[in-house]
Amino acid sequence: MLEEAFADETYGRYYRNIQGMIEHTHYHLGQIVLTKKLQAAPLPEP
């Protein structure tokens, strides 16, 4: 199943698409972590 074409052959295989979704999710999780760290950091004195 994972080696079958995904929807259309131009989109690659199921395996690669699932891997891409996981990588994309990790990217966004990293953005969330950085945003939370920035929100928790004290503002510098002017």
Please indicate whether residue 8 or residue 31 has the higher confidence score (pLDDT). 31
| Contacting residues for 37 by C-beta, under 8 A, at least 6 apart | none
* CA gap 4, 9 in Å, rounded: 9
Contact (Cβ atoms closer than 8 angstroms) between residue 17 and residue 3: no
> pLDDT at residue 43 above 90?
no
Q: Can you tell me the mean pLDDT for 12-27?
A: 95
pTM attached to this predicted model: 0.73
Both tokens assigned to 38: 């920035």
Q: What percent of the chain has pLDDT over 70?
A: 100
